[in-house]
Structure 1
Amino acid sequence: MAVHAETNASAFDTVKLTFAIVILIAGIVGFYYFAAQALLYRVLGILAISGVSLGLIFTTALGGRIFGFITDARLEVRKVIWPSRQETLQSTMIVVALVVLVGVVLWLLDMFLFWGVGVLTGQKV
């Protein structure tokens, strides 16, 4: 009996997801269909329809898993130890200095190779 109830819930979730996608597509089509209306009203309409569609998605099992994932991700972000402003500035300056250093080394290598090719071809003495 439990398998049958789970199948019905899964089928109902599929119907809800399909309906949510249809609502979202209808909102997008309506946004362009009412192009003569003010942009503010069209944006408010698409935001409202997107909210309804997301609300419908979150009532499904898939939506519940997505919501749980988002909640867990926010918890993990809070656990991260972010670098201080000074550490960020120091790291950025090291990266900038190394980029300049590598650029100068590549420029000197290019000049040396250009000079060597000129000597080998007889264009430079």
Structure 2
Amino acid sequence: MSANLQTDSPSPASDRIKWLIAVALIVGGIAGFYYWSEESLLLRVIGLLVLVALAVLVAVQTESGRSAWYFVMDARTELRKVVWPNRKETVQTTMIILAMVTAVALILWGLDSFFAWSVKLLLGTGS
């Protein structure tokens, strides 16, 4: 009866092997990028991107890779639900922030000047 309870989930050993392959692809891509430094930068970048894409495809075949992929897809879905401000709202908010920063800067400058004047007066060093 216990033979019927088998699941289709891969073993942790096969996941580790897949992660090692993915890391080896990335390390190999970086090493190749510098090994063939005399070649065109465009070709080296394309080669590196292809190996990174292969590494991602291998990594997604693991359990943790699949969960990370689902997380990224859910994040993309949530990002599409965000209501972004239009240009008018962005300009208005920026102006309010600049006005508040200027006001706080002037208040702090005034307080600093007052404290500096007070300390000079108390120490008798002011003219």
TM (normalized to structure 2)? Answer: 0.86
Query: Which of 55, 58, 61 is residue 60 of structure 2 equivalent to?
Result: 58
Q: Hey, what's the Cα distance between the residues in 2 that align with 1:85 and 1:4? A: 53
Q: How many matched pairs?
A: 124
Q: CA deviation at 1:84?
A: 2.5
Task: Letter of the 1:103 partner, please give it.
Answer: A
* Structure 2 unaligned regions, length at least 5: none
Q: CA deviation at 1:67?
A: 1.5
Aligned to 1:83: 85
Q: Hey, what's the Cα distance between the residues in 1 that align with 2:45 and 2:37? A: 11
Aligned to 1:123: 125
Q: Deviations over 1:80-123 (max 9, x none)?
A: 22222222222211111110000000111111111111112222
Query: Which of 84, 107, 110 is residue 109 of structure 2 equivalent to?
Result: 107
Q: Deviations over 1:28-78 (max 9, x none)?
A: 111112222222221111111111111111122222211211111111112
TM (normalized to structure 1)? Answer: 0.87
* Structure 1 unaligned regions, length at least 5: none
Q: Hey, what's the Cα distance between the residues in 2 that align with 1:95 and 1:4? A: 57
Q: Hey, what's the Cα distance between the residues in 2 that align with 1:24 and 1:67? A: 18
Task: Letter of the 1:62 partner, please give it.
Answer: S
Task: Letter of the 1:122 partner, please give it.
Answer: G
Question: SS of the residue aligned with 2:104?
Answer: helix
Q: CA deviation at 1:4?
A: 7.8
Q: Hey, what's the Cα distance between the residues in 1 that align with 2:112 and 2:8? A: 72
Identity of aligned residues (%): 38
